[in-house]
Amino acid sequence: MTLPDTSETRSPSAPPDPAPLFTAEGVTVRFGGLTALDDVSLAARPREVHGVIGPNGAGKTTFFNVCCGFVRPDQGTLRWRDEPVRGLHPARLAGMGIARTLQGLGLFAGLTVAENVLVGADRFRRTGFASSLFALPRAAADERSLRERADRALEEVGVASYTGRYPGSLPYPVRKRVALARALAADPELLLLDEPASGLGADDMTELGELVRGLTERMAVVLVDHHMDLVMAVCDRITVLDFGRVVAAGSPAQVRDDQAVIDAYLGEEARAGGDDD
């Protein structure tokens, strides 16, 4: 993958870290008797890609769901710009400046690609139902500006030629890009990506990596994924989970050489090998 190498540790003369945009502190989630997350903390900073990795069942999706407001933590605090966020709800994310893509993509089958992406831009809508109903000029101008936003997002992720198509008629990698365009149309300050590389081939994954790096000019990214090469090439910092706990955190170089990380992944391989027997 031909991406800038972000894996070196910071030099002592590097500028201080920017203040975190989004922080999870001591997050614990229990499902009945199972502790899916145990005292997990993470800080997402502007202009950085923060990766969350870990073997199967480590708690990555649960953590992502906490950040999106799908799962309410039993303990711990989420902060947005240093303010505690209580009762985070998926419907409130866009208004806060947070957008997400999901493993299941969540595209509307009955809407075209352009209409799906327009949904992402909706937080910038200024005119109400009545203006639209009576086709007032300001409603038309509003609609035009939203469409321009959606078009820019489709261009950015390279799927502008599919605007009139329906998601069901498109290959999976294209649908993934449409889902990303919808998130970008919301112009977020924080983008949460759940398994963005799943189902992609090597070329698509390289392009995705380049795209995500480019996004850091204007937003923070938290990326949950299995694909080590993508995570190592793209992330500035990585938090490694195993059995719901943070076992390592740091730059890609630090994490790669961490014995607890090696043990966690070797343990996974051993478990997978055992399953084959």
Ligand X SMILES: Nc1ncnc2c1ncn2[C@@H]1O[C@H](COP(=O)(O)OP(=O)(O)OP(=O)(O)O)[C@@H](O)[C@H]1O
- Which positions from 23 through 62 interact with ligand X, judged by CB under 6 A? 31, 34, 36, 54, 56-62
Q: What is the nearest approach in angstroms of ligand X to the Cβ of residue 201?
A: 20
Q: Which is nearer to ligand X, 6 or 62 (CB)?
A: 62
Residue 16 Cβ vs ligand X, minimum distance, rounded to whole Å: 32
Q: How far is the CB of 257 from ligand X (least distance, A)?
A: 22
Q: How far is the CB of 38 from ligand X (least distance, A)?
A: 11
Nearer to ligand X, 144 or 271 (CB): 271
Of 142 and 194, the one with the shorter C-beta distance to ligand X is 194
Site residues for ligand X, window 124-153 (CB under 6 A)?
A: none
Q: How far is the CB of 80 from ligand X (least distance, A)?
A: 22
How many residues bind ligand X, per CB under 6 A? 11
Which backbone phi and psi does 250 adopt, to 5 degrees? 160, -160
Nearest to 54 by CA among 270, 200, 262: 262
Which position has the token pair 């090696």? Answer: 262
- Residue 219 or residue 264: which is nearer to ligand X going by CB? 264
Q: What is the number of helices (H) and of strands (E) in the chain?
A: 10, 10
Closest by Cα among 190, 192, 186, 222 to 51? 222
E strands, the chain, in order: 22-31, 34-44, 49-53, 75-80, 83-84, 98-101, 190-194, 220-224, 237-242, 245-250
Query: Interface residues for ligand X in 71-110 (CB under 6 A)?
Result: none
Shortest Å distance, C-beta 176 to ligand X: 17
Q: Which is nearer to ligand X, 61 or 216 (CB)?
A: 61
Q: Please give the single-letter amino acid code of residue 52.
A: V
Which residues in the 155-194 window bind ligand X by CB under 6 A? none
CB of 24 to ligand X, least distance (A): 14
DSSP characters over 139-184: HHHHHHHHHHHHHHHHHHTT-GGGTTS-GGGS-HHHHHHHHHHHHH
Cβ distance 55 to 268 under 8 Å?
Answer: yes
Residue 212 vs 264, nearer CB to ligand X: 264
Give the Cα separation of 92 and 90 in Å (integer).
Answer: 5
Closest CA to 233 of 217, 248, 255, 264: 255
Specify the residue, 236 or 242, whose C-beta has the smaller distance to ligand X: 242
Residue 11 carries which side chain, given as an amino acid letter? S
Binding site for ligand X (CB under 6 A): 31, 34, 36, 54, 56-62
